[in-house]
Structure 1
Amino acid sequence: MYLLIETNGSKLWRLNYRVLGRYRTYAMGRYPEVTLQKVRDKKLEARRLIAEGIDPSEKKKMSARSSKMASDNKFRSLAEEYIRTLENKGYVPQTIDKNR
């Protein structure tokens, strides 16, 4: 675990590890937004995952994708907005049901 200081002045917490024979780097956040205690907790969790043979970086990516998919269901929100528009314009319930 180390603090990477880039040329532009940003400070980033990193953890180097090896899983399935490959060396990887796990990003744990920016300093000072992520405190040393939080980084230590993240390191322990990452070490536990590595011991189980799970790549912490891949797990982080997968959880980000799933949360984005859950919150970003654009088609559903657009369809619901369209149905509300039909209701506000005074369309008969049969037309609204067909469109739904």
Structure 2
Amino acid sequence: MPQPERRVRKRTGWKWAIVLIVILVVMAVLNPGKEEFSEYAVKDLKETLGTELAGGITELVAQPLVESFTLRDNYILFSMFSIPDIQNGKSLIGDRSANRKYLGLFKIIFIKL
């Protein structure tokens, strides 16, 4: 009696697991710090104001200032940043409700929450 032909199923689950692991490692390595966020925030401030900051001098002052006021919550794969909302009247450092929050990914992506 002839044996029925068996279907051989290729296992591709491990390939997806490797891809996922590589993505997670890249996210962890490229998790942005305060310096990357402050560069983004100064650039965003220039675009928001619609004016050019006066030469490099203002950027030399603005970036360390923004960096000093920035609070970072590090979640290994991404970071959450909080900065005082200067357009809001309650721009006290200790007032968490007056903060703008951002999600940081891959050192270059910052999403306002």
TM-score normalised according to structure 1 size: 0.25
Higher helix share: 1
Query: Larger RCO: Structure 1 or Structure 2 (Cα < 8 Å, ≥ 6 residues apart)?
Result: 2
The alignment's TM-score, normalised by the length of structure 2, stands at 0.23
